[in-house]
Amino acid sequence: EEQAKEPLYCFTSEDGIEHCVWKITDEENNQKLQMAFQLMDKIYINGLTLKGHHGVLDFEKEQGQNFILDITATLDFSGARLSDDLNDTVSYADMIETIKNVFLSEKNDLIERVAERVAVALLENYKKIESITVLLKKPDAPIEAEFEFVAVEITKTRESLK
């Protein structure tokens, strides 16, 4: 098959490997490639600190403690890049309000459950988001050890909601 002499796009992943996107002349594969390329847009919300009442121990639910959330939403906001219109993307301010509402609405034993609830709410409320990763950190977990934080990370896709 014939390929362009120059790649359409190249990037270096976190592991230092360079990846390039080439034009494919086969229309079906070209459409798949364009979809994958579009899904590379991401919105990051890092270090969102909320006081929650989650944990297995009674005092964790009573007193509460700080939790830190890092959120990565994958979506296609190519329209917003061209239009400069908020309606063509997802508002991270709105996302934060949703996260806060979900995080504070219940007391859960497990942070796994909290992360799941946050991820599902974001996918259900923002139809443009195709996948969401929630890293939920618990820096003050009641464990007799020195550590920066304990955490769980989950990734959910729109497809996983079906």
Active site residues: 138
Contact 10, 21 (CB under 8 A): yes
Q: Give the count of beta carbons closer than 10 Å to the beta carbon of residue 27.
A: 8
**Residue 49 buriedness (CB in 10 A; 0-12 / 13-18 / 19+):** exposed
What is the residue-wise DSSP string for 128-155?
TEEEEEEEEEETT-S-SS--S-EEEEEE
